[in-house]
Chains A and B, each alone.
Chain A
Amino acid sequence: PSNLSTVRPSPPRFGSTDPAPPPRLACGLPPVAVASPASPDPPPQRSALGRVASMYIRVKRHKSTYFIQCDPTETILNIKQKLESIIDHPPNNQRLILLATNNVLNDSKTLADQKVENDTIVALTLRKDNNEFEEVSIANPDDFMSSS
């Protein structure tokens, strides 16, 4: 391990070389009033480009983890739509469960409403052929250690 000496002791700084940090909310969106009764329009799905979403969540099922960028004001339905583009299952057939509390997340509520914060782990289950949802199942890496 002599090459360890070349390993940088701490993560490099990224700030200095960034040519132009994207201005936040450059488009001048008014701040979303969280308490609005019928949330008018969910934030458009442009977080992949343009500006950096404020957080991400980790959606897990079996041996897969999906890192989903999002904002606290987005609804669970928004998240399911983002997932649909990756896993090809419509929101209807997805169920998201907050792993820490085992609560099934409600489509129409926002992430903030349901205490889903940055880096939170959310379990994904899918609808089975018999129309019921499968049990939460997240694989543990330790069960897959090579036994050699």
Chain B
Amino acid sequence: MAAPAPAQHREAEEEAEEMAGVVKLISAEGFEFFVDKKAAMVSNTLRNMLTSPGGFAETREGEVRFPEISTAILEKICQYFYWSLHYSSGKETAEFPIEPEITLELMMAANYLDT
């Protein structure tokens, strides 16, 4: 299951090329979330899927299904991707709000996505 680790020192341009575009993430209920590839790569699991040579079949199509992740959780995760992109520079910060009732499910999904 473990994908080969992505090369750590890739040419910057090549990396930029790979970061472009949009991927579709599909929840358990079949809801679709279109996010920038760059955002999806906040998740190491997704990064591996999207960058490993040869690739996973579904990621060549630009979509990944998550039959285990409910729509509400997947949306929260996508919001987190963007929150992380914006605040990863560390210069400024803001709270990422998490409702208590979804905490457990969100943590399990985050663990799976390695994010």
Residues of A within 8 A of B (CB): 3-4, 6-8, 11, 13-16, 18, 21-22, 48-49, 52, 54-56, 58, 63-67, 69, 85-86, 119, 139, 141, 144-146
Contacts and interface: CB of A to CB of B under 8 A. Distances in A.
A15 B32 CA distance: 30
A139 B31 CA distance: 9
B36 to A, nearest CB: 6
A85 to B, nearest CB: 8
Given A48-B20, A52-B85, A67 B90 contact: no
Contact of A67 (B31, B39, B96, B104): B39
Interface residues of B, number: 38
B29 A144 contact: yes
B36 A18 contact: no
Interface in B18-56: 19-20, 22, 27-36, 38-39
A interface, over-half SS: loop
Contact of B19 (A49, A69, A146): A49
Contacts of B82: 56, 67, 69
Contacts, number: 91
Contact of A69 (B36, B70, B110): B36
Given A7-B111, A21-B91, A141-B71, A65 B33 contact: yes
Contacts of B27: 141
B98 to A, nearest CB: 9
Contacts of B36: 48, 67, 69
29 contacts: A3-B111, A4-B104, A4-B108, A8-B111, A11-B96, A14-B87, A14-B88, A14-B90, A15-B87, A15-B88, A21-B88, A21-B89, A49-B19, A49-B20, A52-B85, A54-B86, A55-B86, A58-B75, A63-B29, A63-B32, A64-B31, A65-B31, A65-B32, A67-B33, A67-B36, A67-B78, A141-B27, A141-B72, A145-B29
